[in-house]
Amino acid sequence: MSKIKVAVVGCGAISKKRHIPEYAANPNVELVGFCDLILERAEGYAQQHGGRAYTSYEEMLKVEKPDAVSVCTPNVLHAPYAIAAANAGAHVLVEKPMATNEADALAMIEAARKNSVFLMVGQNQRLMPPHQKAKEILQSGKMGKVLSFRTSFGHGGPEGWSMDGRDSWFFRKEDAIMGAMGDLGVHKSDLIRWLLDDEVAEVAAFVSTLHKAGTDVDDNATCVLRMKSGIIGTLVASWTYYKGGDNSTILWCENGAMHIGTHPLDQVIVQLRDGSVEKYQVGAMATNEKQVSSGIMDAFVESIVTNTPPSISGEEGLKSLAVILAAFESQDSKKVVSLS
């Protein structure tokens, strides 16, 4: 079988740390094009992996005619770039948040459908080993019903992550639209929907900019969620955990509690009401500093190779995005927002 020709647009931190190395390690992939506004960023990868460097995305699509594209640009470009790729006949892997509003997300789903290509969203929390283990334990029935939860994701902010540091697009509202909620909150709305196999029905939220100077995107949010089944819990996103970064979830259930990502070595800890404790060492939770393979690129390529729609689809990405958009609406209206 001939290799899948993959092009990457946006050669920043997530491309460097995850997309490009994971594609390069996949035997079914040929990296054919790299595009960034800063040509040297793209050129470095072309020299390393073959393929050509571009500053014009349209030109890259036209010249390379890729089978698949990873969209790793600032948030506002996700929708137009994903739609352009689909219209050029390429499968699309778009980073999270898939879009910055529902209309754009729907247009992306429609573009993929119309062009018979796959649309997958980089919601990688689902594939992390501790989360996979947690879901397996929940499905075993051991915990009984989940009653309440707390899920949170916080670090010191994108200045310590983005290629452009403190000058990053992450802090510019016109490029990012959302701050910590689009960066981290959407990971947790996606995780909780997937873990609980449930949908968010209602959202109440406080979303604020507390400490990042010179930006009007949010750097902290605390949300209260009610799931369709009635489960209630909190979702927290923060860019001001300068110490004590956190990517953890606790589920309180009929038969005990499950702690996910609260301990560095025992990534899943189950405490049952009979006093027994089970500790699972299943592999680290990825953090900005401690990168582990996301599995997202392999899953995307596998979808293409086997012609099987990706499970982390555009529809899934939209549902997780809708929770975050509802949180902003709740903050603005000071009301509880229902999701249809």
Ligand X SMILES: NC(=O)c1ccc[n+]([C@@H]2O[C@H](COP(=O)([O-])OP(=O)(O)OC[C@H]3O[C@@H](n4cnc5c(N)ncnc54)[C@H](O)[C@@H]3O)[C@@H](O)[C@H]2O)c1
Pairing of strands 146-154, 246-253: antiparallel
Give the count of beta carbons closer than 10 Å to the beta carbon of residue 276.
9
Pairing of strands 232-238, 146-154: parallel
Q: Is 104 in the site for ligand X (CB under 6 A)?
A: no
Question: In angstroms, how far is CA 329 from the centroid of its own chain?
Answer: 21
The C-alpha atoms of residue 147 and residue 166 are separated, in whole angstroms, by 40
Residues 60-89 that bind ligand X (CB under 6 A): 72-75, 77
The C-alpha atoms of residue 55 and residue 69 are separated, in whole angstroms, by 15
Q: Which is nearer to ligand X, 40 or 274 (CB)?
A: 40
Site string for ligand X, 153-182 (x = CB under 6 A): --------xxxx---xx-------------
Q: Is 266 in the site for ligand X (CB under 6 A)?
A: no
Give the count of beta carbons closer than 10 Å to the beta carbon of residue 5.
18
Structure tokens at 257: 């509690």
Q: Which is nearer to ligand X, 37 or 292 (CB)?
A: 37
**Window of 3-11, 98-106, 207-215, 232-240 that interacts with ligand X by CB under 6 A:** 3-11
Site string for ligand X, 203-232 (x = CB under 6 A): ------------------------------
Q: Is 122 in the site for ligand X (CB under 6 A)?
A: yes
Number of residues near ligand X (by CB under 6 A): 29
Q: Is 22 in the site for ligand X (CB under 6 A)?
A: no
Q: Is 126 in the site for ligand X (CB under 6 A)?
A: no
The C-alpha atoms of residue 99 and residue 162 are separated, in whole angstroms, by 19
Choosing from 14, 109, 260, 325, the residue that interacts with ligand X (CB under 6 A) is 14
Burial of 338: CB neighbours in 10 Å, binned 0-12, 13-18, 19+: exposed
- The residues binding ligand X (CB under 6 A) are 9-15, 35-38, 41, 57, 72-75, 77, 95-96, 122, 124, 161-164, 168-169, 183
